[in-house]
A and B are shown apart, each in its own frame.
Chain A
Amino acid sequence: METFDLLKRLTETPGPSGNEAAVAAVVEELWRPLVDETAIDRVGSLAATKRGAGPEPRPTILLAAHQDELGLMVTRIVDQHGQGFLRLTNLGGVDRRHLLGQTAVVHGREALTGVLGGLPDSLLPEKARGQAYSYDNLVLDVGLPTERLRELVSVGDFVSFRQPLRRLHNGRVTGKALDNRASLAAVTICLERLQGRRHTWDVVAVATVQEETAYIGAYTSGYAHQPDVAVAIDVAHAKGPGANDSELSELGGGPLLGMGAEIHPAVYNALRDAAKALEMSVGVEPNATGRGTDAYALQTARAGIPTGLMLIPLRYMHTMVETADLNDIERAGRLLAELIARLDDTFLPDLREELMRPDKRKDDSQ
């Protein structure tokens, strides 16, 4: 499938945190022909296993890309002269400044499309004027009388954003939920490339849940599968309007490799070496806290998992116009496949030595 079509399917399927079932179904359909088995676990993560060609017991590498996206949830149904309005709260780190005038779908007894609206400043409480709309002042209006609305919608129903994926110039695309369906697309590309390539390790690709809220799927998948190595795939901020910090990456300059406390240096090195073998230039993204992606949770599952992180540059993260470069996504998929194909018997013994190998000091040789 063309990468654009793949991404279109993935991004346009609604799946806010905690309500990922529809995305899991799409991912399962995409991955099932490429793997030996698939399963959905107790918290909703989809795991696809592709067995390696090595002798048993085979080591396992786990790829984790979260399938949840940002969304909203109904907190109250408010009546105004017989017309019903929905008050909302956020699911994940929604950027409220972008909400006014968007369309969104509330998933009640049936899916209803509505408009996210608010009163003009002149009619808002004084404190709210000139401020980004808060959830106290925003409504989702599906245009139904209260009585009918109450039959169809309940407190706790989730709301997803609507935005078709569109092409921009230069192979760039824009839409919602590229965080993190871009990574799911990259994993799909990786699995496709592994069809024609020998790999000795088992591969478990997981579409995790509730990363945006609490890394739930990464914690539980790391525990359940106990992989020998894990790589999380997620997005990173790219340079763009209002974001020109010198350390940010360029769109099209990816993928990036995460560095920092949550990353095992041997896994980082393996990713870097795989990129070298492909003559692919990759950026780096240092992180002082380790927080922010599934890698954070994977690293400390059970007695610890050697973890790596690959990132796809993205503009306007957590909005309905997230923008990515298709080349970055395809390259990320190729790099993952290369990494996996290169894993052999020597990798784990070498990885275990890495943490006790003295750093080479230049002045040692002088």
Chain B
Amino acid sequence: MNDLIRSLVEAFGPSGFEDAVRDLIRPLVEPHADEVSVDAMGNLIVRKRAAGENPLKVMIAAHMDEIGVMATHVTAEGFLRFTNIGGVGPHTLLGGRVRFADGTLGVIGADRNDDRSAIHPLSKHFIDVGATSRDDCPVRVGDAAHFERPFVAQGHRLTAKSMDDRIGCVVAIEALRRLPATVPHDLYFVFSVQEEVGTRGAEAAANRILPDVGIALDVTLTGDVPEARSMSVRLGDGPAIKVRDSGMIAHTGLVRLMRQRAEEAGITHQMEVLDGGSTDARPMQVAGPGCAAGCISIPCRYVHTPSETVDARDVEGAVQLLVAVLSNPIEL
């Protein structure tokens, strides 16, 4: 699975610019789908039809986009000022590297800071692409970049810049491969766009599909590092079944069902209550007449930094849990 993960996490895909990621995923899922389409916003929608009568429509969403930056100004000396695409913390910037869609690499510097323990706001950082003036700068205002960081695997731990949420895409792709030829539900795997800027892609996709059941695949924070936030999720303790986050309270029947399937299949799992953040499950829940929404989370340390870290066993568990949920009856 690591080769798949590497190819996805190293691809270029800030919110709104997901084309390269979609082009990678499409050929991987086509052999397992009855229908593949791309909608107006760029969501990749992969349908696998049900075998039986009156099937439930189940939407599974993993977002393709990642956080990034966008150039807002080129200085007279050819440096770039920039703004954030999605949740970029200023403490993750200095000394980092970004890459633009055309391959241009930039190094992030910051205005002089006399107080070494203080962090500049994002607006006091700049990108140096090696230009010397506005004229020879290859980047224009409005160009987007992503953070540059190679994938690393050490034992079970996997570290990369956009585990959020390419690892969710990996879980979806793996589940598609492993699902039996016939499934009892109409499955819509949505590789969504623009999650990091407000779960926008999944909203449009859910409005089209109007699912009965919605399952997001996304990363969640952990409470297992020094002086961590008060949270029970730990890396390596299995996929987390989300009960709530700050944008959504999961359907209690779906939560119960996920727990039951995990227990039946002997999948190590944990329960998640997250203060802060949300996922594509939120727009799915309110789409049309409403759907039973929930989320299978992959625990992830250092979310929204260039070194997002997950545990391969949790990823494997998430795939198994998703397959168990989708290939069995869903009674809510």
Contact = CB atoms under 8 A, between A and B. Distances in A.
| Direct contact, A vs B (beta carbon within 8 Å) | yes
Interface of A: 17-19, 21, 41-45, 73-77, 87, 89, 91, 135-136, 154-156, 210, 213-214, 216-217, 219-220, 223-224
B271 A43 contact: no
A223 B286 CA distance: 10
A73 B246 CA distance: 12
A228 to B, nearest CB: 17
Contacts of B290: 41-43, 45, 216-217, 219-220, 223-224
Given A73-B244, A156-B244, A214-B247, A42 B291 contact: yes
A21 B252 contact: yes
A32 B282 CA distance: 32
B205 to A, nearest CB: 16
Interface in B155-189: none
A151 B270 CA distance: 14
A155 B243 contact: yes
A77 B232 contact: yes
27 contacts: A18-B249, A41-B289, A41-B290, A42-B212, A42-B290, A42-B291, A43-B291, A43-B292, A73-B243, A73-B244, A74-B273, A75-B231, A75-B232, A75-B273, A76-B231, A77-B232, A91-B244, A91-B249, A155-B270, A155-B271, A156-B244, A156-B272, A213-B249, A214-B286, A216-B285, A219-B290, A224-B289
A214 B245 CA distance: 12
A220 B210 CA distance: 11
Contact of B289 (A135, A214, A220): A220
A127 to B, nearest CB: 14
B117 interface: no
Contacts of B241: 156
Nearest to A135: B230
A19 B243 CA distance: 11
Contacts of B272: 155-156
A19 B252 CA distance: 7
Interface string B290-307: 111000000000000000
Contacts of A19: 249, 252
Nearest to A42: B290
B77 interface: no
Interface of B: 212, 223, 230-232, 241, 243-244, 247-252, 255, 270-273, 275, 282, 285-286, 288-292, 332
A76 B243 CA distance: 13
Contact of B273 (A42, A136, A156, A224): A156
Contacts of A155: 232, 243, 270-273
A18 B252 contact: yes
Contact of A223 (B231, B282, B289, B292): B289
Given A42-B289, A42-B290, A216-B285, A87 B249 contact: no
B51 to A, nearest CB: 23
B331 to A, nearest CB: 13
Contacts of B223: 76
Given A18-B244, A19-B252, A216 B271 contact: no
Given A18-B249, A43-B285, 12 more contacts: A42-B291, A43-B251, A45-B290, A75-B231, A75-B275, A76-B230, A136-B230, A154-B271, A155-B232, A156-B272, A214-B282, A220-B289
B243 A156 contact: yes
Contacts of B286: 214, 216, 219-220
A82 B286 CA distance: 43
A91 B248 CA distance: 10
Q: Is the interface of A mostly helix, strand, loop or mixed?
A: mixed
Nearest to B223: A76
A144 to B, nearest CB: 18
A210 B232 contact: no
A154 B263 CA distance: 15
A65 B5 CA distance: 47
Contacts of A87: 230
Nearest to B207: A223
Given A42-B212, A42-B292, A214-B286, A73 B248 contact: no
Nearest to A210: B249
B169 to A, nearest CB: 26
A81 B324 CA distance: 38
Contacts of A217: 290
Contact of A156 (B230, B271, B332): B271
A340 B158 CA distance: 62
A109 to B, nearest CB: 12
A135 B282 CA distance: 24
Contacts of A42: 212, 251, 289-292, 332
Nearest to A45: B290
A273 to B, nearest CB: 32
Nearest to A217: B290
Contacts of B232: 75-77, 155
Contacts of A44: 251
A-B pairs with the 3 shortest C-beta distances? A156-B243, A220-B290, A18-B249
Contacts of A73: 243-244, 273
Nearest to B241: A156
Contacts of B244: 18, 73, 91, 156
A330 B243 CA distance: 37
A45 to B, nearest CB: 8
A155 B255 CA distance: 12
Nearest to A90: B275
B238 to A, nearest CB: 13
Contacts of B292: 42-43
A44 B231 CA distance: 28
Given A41-B290, A89-B273, A156-B255, A75 B230 contact: yes
A329 B212 CA distance: 36
A78 B206 CA distance: 38
A223 B285 CA distance: 13
B239 to A, nearest CB: 14
A197 B234 CA distance: 60
B288 A220 contact: yes
